[in-house]
Amino acid sequence: MSKNIVVIGAQWGDEGKGKVVDVITPHVDVVVRFSGGNNAGHTVVVGREKYVLHTIPSGILHNGRRCIIGCGVVIDPGSLIEEMESLVQRGVSLDGNLYISKNAHLIMPYHPALDRASEAKLGKRRIGTTGKGVGPAYVDKAARVGIRMADLLDERLFREKLEFNLAQKNRLLRDFYDAETFGVEAILNQYLRYAGWLAPYITDTALLLSKWIESGYSVLFEGAQATMLDIDHGTYPYITSSSTTAGGAVTGTGVPPTKIHGVLGVAKAYSTRVGGGPFPTEMTGKLAETIRARGKEY
Q: CA angle 37-21-255, nearest 5°?
A: 65
* N-term to C-term CA, the chain: 34
The CA distance from 165 to 245, in Å, is: 30
The CA distance from 62 to 180, in Å, is: 43
* 95 among known catalytic residues: no
H or E element, residue 163: helix 155-175
Q: How far is CA 14 from CA 19, 23, 84, 181, 210, in A?
A: 11, 16, 23, 35, 31
Catalytic, out of 22, 27, 29, 42 = 42
Catalytic, out of 14, 29, 151, 230 = 14
The CA distance from 196 to 199, in Å, is: 6
What is the identity of the amino acid at 257? P
* 261 among known catalytic residues: no
The CA distance from 230 to 140, in Å, is: 18
HSE-CB for 171 with a 13 A CA cutoff: 5
Active-site residues, by number, are: 14, 42
